[in-house]
Structure 1
Amino acid sequence: MSFFSLLWLAALGLGIGALGRAVVKDGTPMATWMTAVVGVVGAVGGGSVIHAILGDGHMFVATLLGVAMAALLVMAITGWQRTRGES
């Protein structure tokens, strides 16, 4: 995977993290920097998995999975932190 592909996925992850904060109604218990880090890790991780499975030339699929992984990670960690804080 090229450097620019990783940079693209990282930028998407930052965007997904920001959208995750904007969509949650009552605010998220995660810090802003943590949301950004989780978004980047999810996007780069998801894109890397697709690249490892399918190889070069599948950047669209890698982008889709990267965005999905970033969104799922942000939702999962936010939900976990909310349930942990209620007890």
Structure 2
Amino acid sequence: MSFFALLWLAALGLGIGALGRAVVKKGSPMATWMTTGVGVIGAVGGGSIIHAILGNGHTFVATLLGVALAALLVMAITSWQRTRGEDS
């Protein structure tokens, strides 16, 4: 995977993290930097997984999976932090 593809996925992850933060607003127990960091990790991780499985030439699929994984990670961690906070 090229450097620019990783940079593209990281930028998408930042966007997904920011969107997740905007949607949840005040009720989010996750810090802003953590939301964007999880978005970047999810996007780059998802894109890398697809690249490892399918190889070069599947940038669109890698982007879609990266965005989906980033959004799912942000939602899962936010949900987990909320339920953990309610139990305490």
Query: What root-mean-square deviation, in Å, do the aligned CA atoms of Structure 1 and Structure 2 show?
Result: 0.8
Q: Aligned partners of 1:4 and 1:27: how far apart in 2?
A: 35
Q: Aligned partners of 2:32 and 2:64: how far apart in 1?
A: 23
Name the structure with the higher helix share. Answer: 2
Number of the residue aligned with 2:80: 80
Q: Aligned partners of 1:42 and 1:54: how far apart in 2?
A: 18
- Number of equivalent positions: 87
Q: After superposition, what is the alpha-carbon deviation per residue over 1:7-37, rounded to whole angstroms, capped at 9, x for unaligned?
A: 0000000000000011115431000000011
Q: TM-score, normalised by structure 2?
A: 0.96
Number of the residue aligned with 1:29: 29
Q: Percent identity?
A: 86
Number of the residue aligned with 2:6: 6
Q: TM-score, normalised by structure 1?
A: 0.97
The farther-off stretch of 26-35 and 56-65 is 26-35
